[in-house]
Structure 1
Amino acid sequence: MIDKMGLLFASLHQETSGGAPEWIVAGLGNPGAQYEGTRHNAGFAALNMLSAKIGVRIERAKFKSMCGTGRIAGKQVLLLKPQTFMNLSGEAVAAAAHFYKLPMSHVLVLFDDISLPVGKLRVRRKGSAGGHNGIKSIIEESGTSDFPRIKLGVGDKPRPDYDLANWVLGRFSQDDRPLFAQSLERAADAVEELLKNGVGSAMNLYNA
């Protein structure tokens, strides 16, 4: 006897997923309400902006992450928010890339950067961790640093002796919030440009 529920589930899954992802877009951050709105959760915030723009809910638990699938620039994309906490982000990102047999050149990572002023973006084709533990974890777990990324500026700590952990786990000032909000919109646009026309085009448009 045919399993009608199984066929229905398969049909619904096919309709909503649109096939296997061609790209992974991962936003880095820490899970939990206490971390919402912090500088270190800029990647989560950017992914939320992107998901809202394309009408995708990030609500499926898989790969130690919350996930959602949708289409960007005609490509099937997995949106990924690791729930491992920042320092173990690579466990989630590498697992998803391995499962879908995607090269890391098709894994785009969004994350915070204290070396950039609030509101600034930097699109990069590849690079070192630059002291960012989330990127360090991805490099260690995937075995390569050759993956594109979009850095969102969160500003440097106010003085050299200021504790870095306290700074990145702190929230934006009232003056900085509008600038950061604008950068989230630009980051979502940069993702679309990168997937549509390549890293070089996104760098030319968004690294000003």
Structure 2
Amino acid sequence: MKLIVGLGNPGHRYKKTRHNVGWIVINELAKNWKKSKKANCVYSKQGDIEYIKPLTFMNNSGKAVRSVKDKHKIKPENIIVIHDDIDLPFGEIRISKDVSSAGHKGVQSIINELGTQDFTRVRIGINPRLVGEQADRKIDTERFVLEKFTKEENKQLDEIIKQAIETIKRELCQSI
């Protein structure tokens, strides 16, 4: 069995923010969500793949992941976590395996709860990579990730979601 996790924050306020790109992608992958009070997440099952969106805030995502992992006896190497990455240019998608959280608190929560970083991450870049004078500006990371996508970013979002889904499907095929 595989577990695919989309990271994000619950609540209408966070619905279309950069930090919720994991939820945005997983919503396109899975349908018919059901709520699990015990695991504090919503889930969807398709064949031998369980999709979840933790209903905790981002920094506590690991609790829901561990609960579902333990319930279904899923090995960490069979977990794929989809999340935003401020260190990647907007729209860039990278696969990482068995690496540190690089400061992402949702990923760190999962590492802490699982006791390992031996799982796959689909990292979706949200950094605008400012140029010229704007490049010298310091970004308030916490504020930036909780802002909604700009109009220009929204125009590109559908294509980024498609690319992320294709990346996840390739990853699933390679691990079978």
* Fold equivalence (TM over 0.5): yes
Task: Give the aligned partner of residue 153 of structure 1.
Answer: 125
Point out where structure 1 has 5 or more consecutive residues left out of the alignment: 1-21, 200-208
Task: Give the aligned partner of residue 42 of structure 2.
Answer: 66
Q: Contact (CA 8 Å) 2:42, 2:55: kept in 1 or not?
A: yes
Query: Secondary structure at the residue paired with 1:181?
Result: helix
Q: Does 1:189 align with 2:161?
A: no
- 1:166 offset after TM fit, Å? 0.8
CA distance in 2, matches of 1:146, 1:97: 13
Q: Which is strand-richer, 1 or 2?
A: 2
CA distance in 1, matches of 2:158, 2:90: 10
Q: Contact (CA 8 Å) 2:4, 2:50: kept in 1 or not?
A: yes
Task: Give the aligned partner of residue 75 of structure 2.
Answer: 103
Task: Give the aligned partner of residue 44 of structure 1.
Answer: 23
| Residues 116-125 or 35-44, more deviating | 116-125
In the superposition, the TM-score normalised over structure 1's length comes to: 0.77
Q: How does 1:1-208 map to 2 (within 5 A)?
A: 22-51=1-30, 56-62=31-37, 63-71=39-47, 76-155=48-127, 160-198=137-175
Q: Contact (CA 8 Å) 2:25, 2:164: kept in 1 or not?
A: yes
CA distance in 1, matches of 2:3, 2:174: 16
Deviations 1:35-73 (A, max 9, x none): 01100001000101111xxxx3123325110001013xx
How high is the sequence identity, in percent, across the aligned residues? 32
Q: Contact (CA 8 Å) 1:109, 1:149: kept in 2 or not?
A: yes
- Please tell me the residue identity of whatever aligns with 2:54: P
Query: Secondary structure at the residue paired with 1:115?
Result: strand
CA distance in 2, matches of 1:123, 1:37: 23
CA distance in 2, matches of 1:190, 1:154: 17
CA distance in 2, matches of 1:45, 1:150: 13
Q: Contact (CA 8 Å) 2:90, 2:129: kept in 1 or not?
A: no
In the superposition, the TM-score normalised over structure 2's length comes to: 0.90
- RMSD (CA atoms): 1.6
- 1:160 offset after TM fit, Å? 4.8
CA distance in 2, matches of 1:193, 1:46: 15
